[in-house]
Amino acid sequence: MQNGTFQPIRNSDLPAMFRRIRLELARNTEHPEGSSEIGYVLLAPLDSGERIDATAWKSHREACRVTRLRPGGDDIRGHLVHRPGGSWAFHYDVAGAAPDEAGFHFESEAFRPGEYVSLREANATHTYRVASVTPL
């Protein structure tokens, strides 16, 4: 895993609305059963509708993190960022070399187990299943 200068964060320093969200690659032509080895783990605040809470994000940006999971340990850490216009993306500022990955309609997506979300990665959009959502 590529690591950088992330400051440690204690769960007790974060509001109760923060969740650990695991996304796993959904079924597609290359992975007919999906893949639990390809995915993301997010730390993000969710509102009562289980959507990313932009107000809480603004107050706790540093804590809103993402780890991109890939087979073979090529995991990359970054941050969840709120872009102008209200969209969300994963910014890999720690690794430096990876481009941002944009969430497709993340502003209106409910992050609950069994739901599906899409991400624009490099030159393609991929669908991920919300595998778990747990309190910190």
Question: Is residue 128 in a domain?
Answer: yes
- List of residues 6+ apart from 82 with CB closer than 8 A: 54, 57, 58, 88
* Per-residue pLDDT at 65: 94
pLDDT band for 2, please (50, 70, 90 cuts). Answer: very low
Mean pLDDT for all residues in the chain:
87
Phi-psi region of 73 (alpha: psi -120 to 50; beta: other; left: phi over 0): left
pLDDT, tens digit, for every residue of 53-65? Answer: 999 999 999 999 9
Question: Is residue 124 in a domain?
Answer: yes
Decide if pLDDT at 93 tops 70.
Answer: no
Q: What share of the chain is helix, strand, coil (3-state, %, to 5)?
A: 15, 45, 45
Question: Is residue 11 in a domain?
Answer: no
Question: Is residue 1 in a domain?
Answer: no
Question: Is residue 21 in a domain?
Answer: yes
Structural domain span for residue 55? 17-135
- 118: tokens are 């899409």
Average pLDDT over residues 24-53: 95
Question: Is residue 4 in a domain?
Answer: no
Q: How many domains does the chain have?
A: 1
